[in-house]
Amino acid sequence: MGVPAGRSSKPRFRLRAMASVAAAFTAGAIAGPVVTAWAQDGSRAETYRLLNLFGDVFERVRAEYVEPVNDRDVIENAINGMLQGLDPHSSYMNLRNFRDMQVQTRGEFGGLGIEVSQEAGYVKVISPIDETPAARAGVKPGDLITHINNASTQGLTLQEAVDQMRGERGSSIRLTIRREGTATPIELSLTRETIRPQVVRARMEAGDVAYIRLTSFNEQTEVGLRRALSNLRSQARDGLKGIVLDLRNNPGGLLDQAIQVSDDFLEQGEIVSTRARRPEDAQRWNARSGDITAGLPVVVLVNAGSASASEIVAGALQDHRRAIIMGVKSFGKGSVQTVMPLPGNGAIRLTTARYYTPSGRSIQATGIEPDIEVLAQREDAQQNRERDREADLRRALRNDNSGAAAQGVNARPPAPLPPLNLPSGLVQAVQRLPAEGAPSFDPTKPETDHQLQQALNLLRGMASGQPQRRASR
């Protein structure tokens, strides 16, 4: 019985194709372009096939899902899924989310002017911002916001509660507050205004140490840092003994602000470098002369909530031994995201590079290890309770400190850090844990902040040359 023509033609075609490839390899130099062109054609065909697959699935969802779907929602969810499948920090922002991100970057929004946390399921006021609706209405640190517009705040996440308190300038909102020592709830009616949050909070500690806290890195951060230090220096009658730069729970923000803040403390040398997919896209930033602190000793406080831009500052000051890093290991986000607007359709936030400290360290998934470890509470050691860090996130980028994949600027394995230039007695005097029976940390009471108290003791010991053994109360 004869073989059908349709079956005999395919094997002959494959044999001819294989012969052509073999001849191309035999030709040596000719083989590269030929095989490359074939590979590109094959890759392009596969891409088209997958795009057709996406179109088929989209049409099935539109036609057969149990309820009608919104085309924009489906497409945006698909785009977000594509980006979030890459790493934890790439994502799609619709128009509303993109505008919110721009507002946060500029450092102003419509709201009430309250810095808040969460306690016992309610929103707790840490501090009202001066000259804002909340401050003028008499909101005080420690107040619990139990209701917003007569709806309970229990069950809301902190972000959901914050979103409800923000809004258009001139719009009204009603808060119900429970205050310690007051028998009945306090009802307040407020009108939202344009708020410029205090990303820099500063105060003098015992008349000789400047305490400066940076809560994020937006367009106001570096200017606010300079202003705060100038004000505190004018308050110190006998001069400052040192500076505490508090970066705890600072999630980061703008790269250029992290570079400028680092530059404020450095006279020279590299601040940070980035390496992208293409070696020619690598970049490096160096400090300009001029230390705004005039060489004062600095302690930087970090914890598991210190991420991204915070880690750039801590890493730069640590590598140059310009500051002592105290606290616990930081978050470990060593990647750079670029926001790419999509005209009329929001924007994408795409991871485009890794960053490296001056010594060549990538802190991706490892974090900044403090020079002196100090825990905030005894329970942190006893129960080994740690917040999730970058390494715990799904699809987190790997760390490449081995140098095997180094490319571009600063392409070298990390250099070891020089030892701390401190008398051993000063380091040994630092208490890693709070004293037995010490009160729990309350952000409204600095004396309960064990990490801060140890930083202050260390700075005063450096100024006097003697260890300070005062326990935090």
Compute the radius of gyration of the chain from its Cα atoms.
Answer: 28
Q: Is 308 a known active-site residue?
A: yes
Q: Is 127 one of the annotated active-site residues of the chain?
A: no
Element (H or E) spanning 425, and its range?
Answer: helix 424-429
> What does each C-alpha distance from 291 to 145, 156, 295, 322 come to in angstroms?
42, 44, 7, 10
126 token code pair: 């840490």
**Active-site entry in 87, 143, 264, 319:** 319
Catalytic residue among 310, 333, 335, 362: 333
Q: In the Cβ-directed half-sphere of 47, how many Cα atoms lie within 13 Å?
A: 6
Which class for 324: exposed (0-12), middle (13-18), buried (19 or more C-beta within 10 A)? buried
Q: Give the integer Cα–Cα distance in Å for 397 and 368.
A: 16
DSSP, residue by residue, 262-311: HHHH-SSSEEEEEEESSGGG-EEEEPPS--TTTT--EEEEE-TT--THHH
Cα–Cα distance measured from residue 13 to residue 437, given in angstroms and rounded to the nearest whole number: 84
Coil, helix or strand for 132?
coil
Of 127, 308, 330, 359, the catalytic one is 308
Distance CA 215, CA 248 (A): 8
Residues taking part in catalysis: 308, 319, 333
